């Protein structure tokens, strides 16, 4: 395994996942664990490609660019999104979405979305820590 660097394909290097933002130096760092697969220091895995050929980091990073009505967008800098997701995943405030055992909402106690969203919704592969998607939501 190695830490993500400029040799990694796709969006990982483009968004500078080398330890990320300032809130916590221990979160938000990605390590390559296989082809199109990374693991964050918080324990989340980003594995495989989406239907458009983006790796899972790139898929999540779509939520840093306005995508039309109903598509929520993170207000934090791109190079702090992975760190934010680590924080959301590890937070004791994280709770399952009723009726959806692979989805979780974490109230963040601050605005993290461009429309004032204050929580992160994580969608994982069932029974794993593999991220399918993550985006800002309002809570409650």
Partner 1 sequence: MKIWCPRCNQGWVTGAQIKSTNERVSVCEECEAAWANEKSINFETFVDMSTMLKAKGLSGNWSDLLVDKEQGS
Strand order in the sheet with 100-107: 95-97, 100-107, 119-124, 131-137
DSSP 8-class letter at 21: -
With residue 38 as reference, give the H or E element that holds it.
strand 37-40
Q: Which of 57, 61, 76, 132 binds partner 1 (CB under 8 A)?
A: 132
Cβ proximity to partner 1, 107 vs 136, nearer residue: 136
Closest CB 48 distance from partner 1, rounded Å: 6
Decide: is 125 part of the binding site for partner 1 (CB under 8 A): yes
CA distance 4 to 31: 5
Decide: is 102 part of the binding site for partner 1 (CB under 8 A): yes
Q: Which of 2, 6, 99, 140 binds partner 1 (CB under 8 A)?
A: 99
Reduced to 3 states (helix: H, G, I; strand: E, B; else coil), residue 84 is helix
Cβ proximity to partner 1, 95 vs 125, nearer residue: 125
Query: Please, what is the end-to-end C-alpha distance for the chain in angstroms?
Result: 39
Closest CB 25 distance from partner 1, rounded Å: 30
Give contact residues for partner 1 (rule: CB under 8 A). Answer: 48-52, 67-68, 70-72, 99-100, 102-103, 121, 123, 125-126, 132-133, 135
């Amino acid at each position: 395994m190695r830490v993500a660097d400029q040799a990694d394909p796709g969006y990982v290097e483009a968004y500078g996942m080398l330890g990320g933002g300032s809130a916590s130096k221990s979160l938000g760092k990605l390590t390559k664990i296989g082809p199109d697969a990374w693991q964050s220091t918080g324990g989340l895995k980003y594995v495989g490609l989406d239907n458009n050929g983006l790796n899972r980091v790139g898929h999540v990073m779509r939520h840093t660019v306005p995508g039309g009505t109903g598509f929520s967008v993170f207000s934090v800098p791109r190079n702090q999104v992975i760190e934010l997701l680590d924080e959301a995943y590890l937070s004791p405030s994280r709770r399952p979405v009723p009726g959806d055992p692979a989805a979780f909402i974490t109230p963040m106690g601050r605005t993290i979305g461009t429309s004032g969203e204050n929580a992160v919704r994580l969608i994982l592969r069932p029974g794993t820590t593999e991220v399918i998607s993550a985006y800002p939501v309002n809570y409650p």
